[in-house]
Amino acid sequence: MKLSKLTLMALIFSASAHADITLHHAITGETLDMSFAKKGGNTDVFKQFMQDGNNPYNGNKDIVEQGKSLYMTGCSGCHGHEAEGKLGPGLADDYWTYPRNATDQGLFELLFGGANGMMGPQYVNFNTDEMLKIMAFIRDIYKGDPKKAKWLTK
């Protein structure tokens, strides 16, 4: 079959318009298997996140409150109530063991797939939409250098 230039361009355009980002494990670099995701997390906001890797919930005060309560349930025991660090590292400063956490995509990848030791994959406890809410809370309590806040410079 011979495709006209126009058909080809239309095909490329429609493919790129729906292209999603690909998520990778923070340590192994393997593609994350999203079939592990808990039900209920594939919301419109999550779908939007999957288009460019930026968290649409950032800066939304109501969501930040919800994210805070999820964080208190699932993360504060290891990371501290103000994310100051405890068993796990602090999450409110600008030092990251894994520098990609300064981007929303990197932070999501680490939450979903986990890292080393006690930092297990969070898909066990939270759906993907809840993870974005927790991330919005973490960004909200950020105390580091604004210049290093890569998620703000899209």
Binding site for ligand HEC (CB under 6 A): 74-75, 77-79, 87-89, 91, 96-98, 101, 107, 110-111, 115-119, 122, 134
Neighbours of 117 (CB within 10 A): 8
Going 64 to 73 to 88 to 99, the CA torsion angle's sign is negative
CB of 3 to ligand HEC, least distance (A): 46
Q: What is the C-alpha separation between 76 and 69, in angstroms, rounded?
A: 10
Helix (H, G, I), strand (E, B) or coil at 42: coil
Q: Are 79 and 102 in contact (CB under 8 A)?
A: no
Q: Are 141 and 82 in contact (CB under 8 A)?
A: yes
CB of 75 to ligand HEC, least distance (A): 3
* CB of 8 or CB of 34, closer to ligand HEC: 34
* CB of 64 or CB of 107, closer to ligand HEC: 107
CB of 9 to ligand HEC, least distance (A): 41
* CB of 9 or CB of 147, closer to ligand HEC: 147
CB of 88 to ligand HEC, least distance (A): 3
Q: What is the C-alpha separation between 22 and 145, in angstroms, rounded?
A: 28
* CB of 15 or CB of 118, closer to ligand HEC: 118
